[in-house]
Amino acid sequence: MTYIQAISDALRLEMRRDPRVFLLGEDVGVYGGAFKVSLGFQEEFGPWRVIDTPLSETAIVGGATGAALMGLRPVAEMQFADFISCAWDHLVTVAAKQFFRGQTPIPIVVRLPSGGGFSGGPFHSQNPESSFAHIPGLKIVCPATPHDAKGLLAASIEDPNPVLFFEHKHLYRRIKGEVPEDRYTVPFGYANVHRPGDDATIVTWGAMVHTATEAAGELAKEGFEAEVLDLRTLIPWDEERVLEGVQRCSKVLVLHEDTRTGGFGAEIAATIAEEAFEHLDAPVMRVAAPDMPVPFSPPLEKAFIPQVEDVVTALRQLAAY
Amino acid sequence: MVSTGTQTEVVMPQMGVSVSEGTVTKWLKQVGEPIGRDEPLLEISTDKVDTEVPSPAEGVVAQILVAEGETVEVGTVLAVIAPAGSVVSEPADEPEPEAASEPEPAQPEPAPEPEPLAAAAQPAPVATEPPPPAANETPAGAPEAPAPSGNGKTFISPVVARIAAEHGVDPAAVPGTGTGGRVTKKDILSYLQSPAPAAAPPPATAEPAVAPAAPEPAVAPVAPEPEPEPVAAEPAPVAAAAPPVVPVPTRAAPSPPPVPAAPAPVSVPAAAEQPAVLVPGEMFEPMTAMRRGIAEHMRRSLDTSAHVTSAIEVDMSRVVALRRKLKPEFEANHGVNVTYLAFIARGVVETLKDYPWINGEIRGEQIVTRGYVNLGFAVELADGKGLIVPVLRNAETLNLLGIAKGVADIAQRARDKKLLPDEVQGGTFTITNPGGYGTFHGTPVISQPQAAILGTYAVVKRPWVVQDEMGQDVIAIRPMMNLTLTYDHRLVDGALAGRFLRDLRERLETWDEAVY
Amino acid sequence: MAVREAEPVGSLQEVKEAGLDREDLLAIYRHMLMTRAIEERGHILYKQGKIPGSFYTGRGNEGTAVGIGTAMGPNDVGTPLQRDLGVHITRGLEPWRIFAQYMGREDGPTRGRDGNVHMAAPELGLHPMVSHLPAMLPVATGMALAFKIRGDRRVAVGWFGEGAAARGDAHESMNMAGVRQLPIVYVCDNNQWAYSTPTYLSYPVEHIADRAAAYGFEGVVVDGTDVLAVYREARRAIEKAREGGGPTLLECVTLRMEGHAVHDDAFYVPKEMFEQWAAHDPIERYRSWLQDHAGMNDDEESDITAAVKRILSEALDRADQSPMPDPASLAASVFASPEDLDTPHHK
């Protein structure tokens, strides 16, 4: 099934098995969600489990927090990940800190259609994971495959902490994969080897996993085998597996679609430098979008989002170093 | 605020999160006056507000420590209340606000920085990484980066440095395929695994691209364990292996012109130059990486320095006696076996203080001397795998016990392949023991870029002419050891070498336990 | 829907109709006294350096807080603010734990992780406030949403000040509650000063309650110093919500009788205002009313006062015994594990 079908499937299974799970967001009910993730849900679960809210991100996410405190398991949808900034205050101020100061867990999931590549422009294409990764108390999940999307969404709903679930919308219908029918979960903090290799390790997540895989395929023709390590979750992230890759390959490329400065790749690179310095045979390389808003026009956007050629070039530099 | 059983301190409160100090504006009670609990004791003024401070205890005002008009930091003790009925002395020096540390409650931060909890970055296991070679050492002649072929060759990445240190390989001996001729991890790993390439290829052109470019620091000396046993030349423990050479895992080699191809004097010996043809009765045996490295270094060293050797005989009676006396104590209290080498090393370090050129180096057109002695010791590796020369840094700061422990430690770690990169480079003088098998003389090869190398030989009981108590010549049996100093005559003249050996002998023969 | 201004409470009979008997009335008095006593003691502790950070009080707001706390049902929930200590007292939070919270001790409700009145007890249905006011208003709205989804006959009460009313969180909360007719009562603690900002610089209409019409529900203004009037209106609004009648915006007007915090001496408040409102001190008013209408005599009164004093003193001693928290415990405090979900309040 496709990536988006896997997400719908996960949600549907959770809502069937646990009556506490409910959806709230803009246009999720009658319309089935802006991307149709919840198509048919209101018919099945009723209007009080698939709730069309006013245009109020703070009330949506804050409302989710309140409902979670009363024992429900809300899944809030932001229509575009970019709009999370409207609820940033609530997430950072209340949801992230509640357990720490009040010992009352906030088991909410906020689903965030993220990423660009289709001329969405500056406000419909961002990958805002890094600012939240910096706030203690929030978990960050970024599946790249249909299998992981389904399993990670179920795990996110199960998790007693606020989880930001970044679903890359450019993968929605473009990526297909084998997905088990039953319910299953994928644990947080475990990276997946999307493609094996010993000459370099590419640490990445989201849509870039596929870009990296294609680029690695190019280099393989030149005798250089790079492994593609899909982190799948950023908070927590699989530091152990990344360091193992560094030790084995001694050459690392960190790749993300988010902008470069302060992107989560910086955290990974710093950790590698601290923990695996003596295993490095080349500097830790980063490929990321340049520091600017996402441009709209296709040639501009193409120059902004890391392309396969960009990764190939970086890999060649690594190989030759 | 602190209540020491009977007395209670009154402190300057923090009136607001950003307030850091307050001013005493008026004392409402004086020393000796009674005061009730919560009764206003003084008035204060801060950036935010003026207010009064209620007394935390009932009793009598025993001390007033801050005068009206004075401004003090939050948490400063302002006054002391004693229980009712106490005798109160005259107020001493008032204007002496005790800078008490802020009492816990006054802290605006409820929790201290969770330092221990934070994932403090752990430095990579094993410490320091070798800085890029080129930067620091520029041995003879060459300017730091070998100009000709680009800088890449001289940069050793962290992983390559680590592997090199672990295996006692000089990265400069490894052919590099990375940028600018840099040695990559792959390069050094395949170098360690490959048999000598030179032997293999038949073609006459003899261009073993392989030729390890090499460089330099080769330490020559030989010998197995630097542990001459007392008397009787017994072969040192560890045997095996023979003589020569040791590849010097010293760091970088600065300079060596990169590489492969033709130039360089010194390409791998023989094998490369001669067609690989066997005559019946002969067999081929591949040269290991280490062997090739050794060959390269020996050749280079002899080509660089003007090797001359001087020898001297030393009466080791005093050292023998002292060693017998100290051995049990050192073993019992410090867990270390004190060897003759320790004594010699200690003597050498002291003597070098007066002969900086012998601890020096020719670098370009300059003579380099130092205030420190990094002492290298030739250590034979097990199974005849070769030799390694670990370096005991700053040996001049160690006494006899320190040197004995240091030597034992690095020798062991050299055998266990647990040396750190720092410990196989930077040596300024080397001691080797060719006499482990009973030989009494030798001419070791200098470890570049050093200026000299000391050889120690078997301690043998010999008849010796000494003076008796009446000043007459008599024959005594004395444990004698030869020492040789092989030195670079470009820098060290025979006279200097002779004086060095004389002074060293003097020290060993008149060893003063108190001094050393 | 016009704003209704509430009438003061008259006789004991009227009060009985509102559901309070004499025991309840005396309990209200005791709670108000305890609230004030704790805050007065807090002042002293703060000046003695025993309370770190800042210290906020709700002097003058005891009537509003205790009135609403009394009107809430046993299974109702709320998100009171820094002027509403009376709600915590009324719902049963022990004074010694309140002191422990102020002093940052291990036995405070937040175990030293948060300070002063940022405390609550989920088992009593109270959830701790956040400094970014009114950040908990959307949360209270979400609680009411949960009740609606499940069909629980429970009500959420969300507090906000007249200053915080200016933020979007207030608008989004009330708008959503109005749309969905959620079982929630929004209480505006209008003490007329947002730090040094007077009401006319905070909002342009006459009453905050005027805004309720824009959200589709009723707005009521009540004299916050009249504890019984507050109780009556709160009770009405809460039961209305419980019956499915949707939200109410209850604006309780008082004067903040002290500075924004203890470090603020409120020089910007005209002296006349203080004098005028001092005459309406909620505790004094209620005391007189009890004497006049409920026959409270001097003995009863002194018993109550003595009891409050004794409890306070014991609470102080007990709180002082509580240790400072151990930094080593911090590591485990950020993320919850599944076991943490199985707590009574999460039902």
pLDDT in tens, A238-253: 999 999 999 999 999 9
Instruction: Give the integer Cα–Cα distance in Å for A168 and A143.
Output: 8
pLDDT in tens, C248-273: 999 999 999 999 988 888 888 999 99
Residue C15 lies in a domain: yes
Residue C168 lies in a domain: yes
With an 8 Å Cβ cutoff, is B158 touching chain C? no
How many residue contacts between B and C have a Cβ separation below 8 Å? 86
Highest mean pLDDT among B27-36, C15-24, C142-151: C142-151
CA of A56 vs chain B CAs: smallest distance (Å): 34
Q: What are phi and psi of B33, to 5 degrees?
A: -80, 150
> Which residues of A form the catalytic set?
124
Is there a contact between C330 and B114 if contact means CB atoms under 8 Å apart? Answer: yes
Please, what CATH class does the domain formed by A192-320 belong to? alpha beta
H or E element, residue B185: helix B185-193
- Chain B residues touching residue C115 (CB < 8 angstroms): 110
How many residue contacts between A and B have a Cβ separation below 8 Å? 44
Q: Residue B74's domain is classified under what CATH number?
A: 2.40.50.100
Mean pLDDT (whole number) for C280-309: 94
Give the neighbor-by-neighbor strand order of the sheet with A226-230.
Answer: A192-195, A226-230, A200-204, A252-259, A285-289
Mean pLDDT for all residues in chain C: 92
Smallest Cβ–Cβ distance between A101 and the set C113, C150, C336 belongs to C113
- Chain A residues touching residue C143 (CB < 8 angstroms): 66-67, 69-70
Q: B196 CB contacts (<8 Å, ≥6 apart)?
A: B210, B268, B271, B286, B287, B288, B289, B291, B292
H or E element, residue B62: strand B59-64
Q: Is the pLDDT at C296 greater than 70, yes or no?
A: yes
Is there a contact between C346 and A63 if contact means CB atoms under 8 Å apart? Answer: no
**Pairing status of strand B71-73 against strand B21-27:** antiparallel
Binning pLDDT at 50, 70 and 90, where does residue A162 land? very high
CA of A283 vs chain B CAs: smallest distance (Å): 9
> Which residues of B form the catalytic set?
489, 493
Which pLDDT belongs to residue B154?
73
Is there a contact between A49 and C149 if contact means CB atoms under 8 Å apart? Answer: yes
- Closest C-alpha to A282, from B155, C241, C105: B155
Which pLDDT belongs to residue B151?
45
- Chain A residues touching residue B131 (CB < 8 angstroms): none
Binning pLDDT at 50, 70 and 90, where does residue C301 land? very high
Which pLDDT belongs to residue B260?
36
- B74-to-B3, B69, B304, C129 alpha-carbon distances in Å: 18, 15, 71, 28
Mean pLDDT (whole number) for A112-117: 94
With an 8 Å Cβ cutoff, is B112 touching chain C? yes
What is the domain count for chain C?
Answer: 1
Residue C340 lies in a domain: no
Instruction: Give the C window 328-347 contacts with B, CB below 8 Å.
Output: 328, 330-331
Residue C345 lies in a domain: no
Smallest Cβ–Cβ distance between A63 and the set C113, C176, C341 belongs to C176
Does residue B195 sit in helix, strand or coil?
A: coil
| Residue C212 domain boundaries | 4-321
Is there a contact between A104 and C346 if contact means CB atoms under 8 Å apart? Answer: yes
Q: Residue B334's domain is classified under what CATH number?
A: 3.30.559.10
Residue C331 lies in a domain: no
With an 8 Å Cβ cutoff, is A67 touching chain C? yes
Residue C40 lies in a domain: yes
Q: Which tokens hold the place of C125?
A: 């249905």
Is there a contact between C334 and A48 if contact means CB atoms under 8 Å apart? Answer: no
Smallest Cβ–Cβ distance between A63 and the set C142, C168, C346 belongs to C142
C328 or A94, which is more confident: A94
Instruction: Give the C window 172-231 contacts with A, CB below 8 Å.
Output: 172-173, 175-176, 179-180
Which chains form contacts with chain A, at 3 or more CB pairs under 8 Å? Answer: B, C
Which pLDDT belongs to residue B18?
67
Instruction: Count CB-CB contacts under 10 A for residue B475.
Output: 9
Which pLDDT belongs to residue B221?
42
Smallest Cβ–Cβ distance between B104 and the set C265, C324, C330 belongs to C324
Which chains form contacts with chain C, at 3 or more CB pairs under 8 Å? Answer: A, B
Per-residue pLDDT 10s for chain B (516 aa) are 455 557 899 999 887 766 778 999 999 999 999 999 889 999 998 876 788 899 988 999 999 999 999 999 888 999 999 988 776 665 444 444 444 434 434 434 344 333 333 333 333 333 333 333 333 333 343 333 333 344 445 788 999 999 998 888 888 888 888 888 889 999 999 988 876 544 333 333 333 333 333 333 333 344 444 444 444 433 333 333 334 333 343 443 343 333 333 333 333 344 444 556 778 888 887 777 777 778 888 898 999 999 999 999 999 999 999 999 999 988 998 899 999 999 999 999 999 999 999 999 999 889 999 999 999 998 877 666 677 888 999 999 999 999 999 999 988 888 777 787 778 888 999 999 888 788 889 999 999 899 999 999 999 999 999 999 999 999 999 999 999 999 999 999 999 999 999 999 999 999 988 777
Is there a contact between B162 and A278 if contact means CB atoms under 8 Å apart? Answer: yes
Q: Is the pLDDT at C1 greater than 60, yes or no?
A: no
Q: What are phi and psi of C8, to 5 degrees?
A: -70, 165
Q: Residue C28's domain is classified under what CATH number?
A: 3.40.50.970
CA of B162 vs chain A CAs: smallest distance (Å): 7
Instruction: Give the B window 240-279 contacts with C, CB below 8 Å.
Output: none
Instruction: Name the architecture of domain A3-168.
Output: 3-Layer(aba) Sandwich (3.40)
Instruction: Pick from A201, A271, A281, A316 the residue to mutate for testing the B interface (most B CBs within 10 Å).
Output: A281
H or E element, residue C35: helix C22-47
Instruction: Give the integer Cα–Cα distance in Å for C49 and B104.
Output: 9
CA of A301 vs chain B CAs: smallest distance (Å): 33
Is there a contact between B159 and A281 if contact means CB atoms under 8 Å apart? Answer: yes
Q: Is the pLDDT at C88 greater than 50, yes or no?
A: yes
- The nearest alpha carbon in chain A to B164 belongs to A278
Instruction: Pick from C106, C117, C149, C342 the residue to mutate for testing the A interface (most A CBs within 10 Å).
Output: C149
The dihedral through the CA atoms of A192, A198, A204, A210 has a sign that is negative
- Closest C-alpha to B455, from B309, B242, B296, B244: B309
Q: Is the pTM of this model over 0.80?
A: no
Q: C338 CB contacts (<8 Å, ≥6 apart)?
A: A158, A160
What is the domain count for chain B?
Answer: 2
CA of C200 vs chain A CAs: smallest distance (Å): 27
Which pLDDT belongs to residue C5?
81
- Chain C residues touching residue A99 (CB < 8 angstroms): 333-336, 340
What is residue B251's DSSP assignment?
A: S
CA of B79 vs chain C CAs: smallest distance (Å): 12
Which chains form contacts with chain B, at 3 or more CB pairs under 8 Å? Answer: A, C
Contact predicate B339/B411, CB 8 Å: no
pLDDT in tens, A256-278: 999 999 999 999 999 999 999 99
- Which of B44, B78, B106 is the last residue in one of the domains? B106
CA of A143 vs chain C CAs: smallest distance (Å): 21
| Residue B380 domain boundaries | 215-252+266-509
Which pLDDT belongs to residue C344?
55
CA of B124 vs chain A CAs: smallest distance (Å): 5
Mean pLDDT (whole number) for A54-67: 94
Residue C327 lies in a domain: no
Which pLDDT belongs to residue B276?
65
Per cent of chain A over pLDDT 70 is: 100
Q: Which tokens hold the place of B178?
A: 């990375």
Mean pLDDT (whole number) for C59-83: 97
Is there a contact between A56 and C340 if contact means CB atoms under 8 Å apart? Answer: no
Q: Are residues B460 and B335 in the same domain?
A: yes
Residue C186 lies in a domain: yes
B97 or C35, which is more confident: C35
With an 8 Å Cβ cutoff, is A65 touching chain C? yes
Q: Which residues of B touch A (CB under 8 A)?
A: 121-126, 129, 157-162, 178-179, 182, 184-185
Instruction: Give the integer Cα–Cα distance in Å for B223 and B242.
Output: 7
Instruction: Pick from A278, A279, A317 the residue to mutate for testing the B interface (most B CBs within 10 Å).
Output: A278
Is there a contact between A281 and B161 if contact means CB atoms under 8 Å apart? Answer: no
Q: Count CA atoms within 13 Å of residue B426 on its CB side.
A: 18
With an 8 Å Cβ cutoff, is A240 touching chain B? no
Smallest Cβ–Cβ distance between B16 and the set C50, C114, C263 belongs to C263
- Closest C-alpha to A186, from A140, A232, A227, A228: A232
Which pLDDT belongs to residue A160?
97
Mean pLDDT (whole number) for A151-170: 97
- Closest C-alpha to B450, from B347, B384, B377, B515: B377
Q: Which residue bears the tokens 């009453």? A: C207
Smallest Cβ–Cβ distance between B159 and the set A271, A275, A279 belongs to A279
Which pLDDT belongs to residue B123?
37
Is there a contact between A62 and C141 if contact means CB atoms under 8 Å apart? Answer: yes
Does residue A106 sit in helix, strand or coil?
A: coil
